[in-house]
Amino acid sequence: MIDLRLLRDDPEAVRASQRARGEDDAVVDAALTADSRRRGAIAEFERLRAEQKSRGKDVARAQGEEKRALLAEVKGLADRVKAAQAEADTAAAEFEALLGRIPNVVEDGVPPGGEADFVVLEEVGAPPQLPEGLAAWRDHLELGEALAAIDTERGAKVSGSRFYFLTGVGARLELGLLNLAVAKALEAGFTPVITPTLVKPQVMAGTGFLGAHAAEVYRLEEDDLYLTGTSEVALAGFHADEILDLSGGPLRYAGWSACYRREAGSYGKDTRGIVRVHQFHKVEMFSFCRPEDAAEEHRRLLGWEREVLDAVEVPYRVIDVAAGDLGSSAARKYDCEAWIPSQGAYRELTSTSNCTTFQARRLGIRERQGADAGGGTRPVATLNGTLATTRWLVAILENHQQADGSVRVPEALRPFVGLDVLQPVRPLPAP
């Protein structure tokens, strides 16, 4: 949740953030009104409770008729205290519900608008030339089927639409990619983690995934657990209700997990191949740092993402995502989008988000401040970023395809895949 002091001290900044996201800024005033009511109700409860305690002492000292009168007064006061406590609880619940509807306040400089209003920060590499002898680019599924690497028909037979098998060199390519990502993470000082993929509701809610995107999350009702769509969720919960020592710098983790997304609302979109699927694997960076270091840490995460993209030799661009396309937890997000030749378009491969203290406030993750800052605790900042995922195979296969249907393995991947070239084992249509 957002910083309550910011809401009280600078509500216009919160209103401006809401407008940049394309959301209703009236919730800000509603939350302020509820906060005022809550504080008033708490003050009245505490006043009556203090009076009740004082009268209780008077009763203990009184005798006879005075005592009987005081007992009757105290009984009436107890009823008022009970009613005041109920009012305070109701006001607090109303305020918490309204505060929970306000997404993170976007950083200064984030482009306003929706999905199409991103700003391109940089383009890296040029789209490849169509191999001589080909009339058109083969897409990743045509290549994957010829390589016996991707099997969507059997995936649908076993699990339904948007599921698939990676077989043979397809499995080797994904494992090689993910292991390359882990190797890069280790070089950068990350702690590798294999995370749970089922989490409790409070962890899923704490990371902000049960808001506007709740329909995309799988839930196991009988167990009251959620399947995670990213290891960000489990990694955020890793230090829930803890006080961290960040004196040595950020705590950085690289989580490897299967990920599950219902893809609600995406019917008819990217149904071919493995661009938008219900299950995939990912290596995700996650960082806990001091709030004042979060912006610089965000740039570091973007840099590490770009190192892996450079290693697999695909053209890509870096975009500053518009406010209306941010998740509720993110104050800023940078995406790296790779060129997909068969589509003639850039498609997202990585995202890195600065969630500032939004998730940490919900999950109770704090750091202890030094004596010069009063020695108390404060929420930490959390950040996340994709280091590799199954979708990358789309860009790798298409950008490195050759006229005969083979696919060149990027040099950095070869030690992890064990092959220099992926050769087709099934006939391809004539080019």
> Last residue of a domain, which of 100, 127, 151?
100
In a domain, 184, yes or no: yes
pLDDT at 416: 98
* pLDDT, tens digit, 9 for 90 and up, residues 376-396: 899 999 999 999 999 999 999
**290 and 365 belong to one structural domain:** yes
In a domain, 429, yes or no: no
Out of 138, 300, 362, 391, the active site residue is 391
Out of 332, 351, 367, 398, the active site residue is 351
Report, as an integer, the average pLDDT of 99-109.
94
User: Quick check: is 414 catalytic?
Assistant: no
**56 and 126 belong to one structural domain:** no
In a domain, 91, yes or no: yes
pLDDT at 268: 66
**236 and 384 belong to one structural domain:** yes
222 or 215, which is more confident: 222
Query: What whole-number percentage of the chain has pLDDT above 90?
Result: 82
Out of 80, 219, 276, 378, the active site residue is 276
Confidence label for 239 from pLDDT (cuts 50, 70 and 90): very high
In a domain, 305, yes or no: yes
**Does residue 264 carry a pLDDT above 70?**
no
Out of 262, 348, 368, 414, the active site residue is 348
> Last residue of a domain, which of 39, 70, 100?
100
In a domain, 431, yes or no: no
pLDDT at 88: 92
Domain that holds residue 125: 115-422
pLDDT at 339: 98
pLDDT at 270: 74
**86 and 175 belong to one structural domain:** no
Report, as an integer, the average pLDDT of 201-215.
87
pLDDT at 60: 66
pLDDT at 1: 83
**230 and 120 belong to one structural domain:** yes
**Does residue 116 carry a pLDDT above 80?**
yes
Domain total of the chain: 2
Q: Measured between alpha carbons, how far is 156 from 153 in angstroms, rounded to an integer? A: 5
- Give the CATH number for residue 242: 3.30.930.10
**89 and 142 belong to one structural domain:** no
pLDDT at 22: 94
**Does residue 58 carry a pLDDT above 70?**
no
Confidence label for 202 from pLDDT (cuts 50, 70 and 90): very high
210 or 190, which is more confident: 190
Query: Residue 37 corresponds to which tokens in the numbers above?
Result: 């009511």
**178 and 286 belong to one structural domain:** yes
In a domain, 427, yes or no: no
Confidence label for 371 from pLDDT (cuts 50, 70 and 90): low
> Last residue of a domain, which of 100, 134, 165?
100
In a domain, 291, yes or no: yes
In a domain, 204, yes or no: yes
**Does residue 232 carry a pLDDT above 70?**
yes
pLDDT at 51: 80
* pLDDT, tens digit, 9 for 90 and up, residues 13-44: 999 999 999 999 999 999 999 999 999 999 99
Out of 261, 300, 361, 366, the active site residue is 261
* pLDDT, tens digit, 9 for 90 and up, residues 266-298: 666 677 899 999 999 999 999 999 999 999 999
User: Quick check: is 391 catalytic?
Assistant: yes
**37 and 185 belong to one structural domain:** no
**76 and 141 belong to one structural domain:** no
- Give the CATH number for residue 83: 1.10.287.40
339 or 50, which is more confident: 339
The reported pTM is: 0.91
pLDDT at 229: 95
User: Quick check: is 261 catalytic?
Assistant: yes
pLDDT at 287: 98
**274 and 345 belong to one structural domain:** yes
**94 and 157 belong to one structural domain:** no
* pLDDT, tens digit, 9 for 90 and up, residues 126-152: 999 999 999 999 999 999 999 999 999
Report, as an integer, the average pLDDT of 412-418.
98
Average pLDDT over the chain, rounded to an integer: 93
pLDDT at 236: 97
Report, as an integer, the average pLDDT of 322-350.
97
**127 and 81 belong to one structural domain:** no
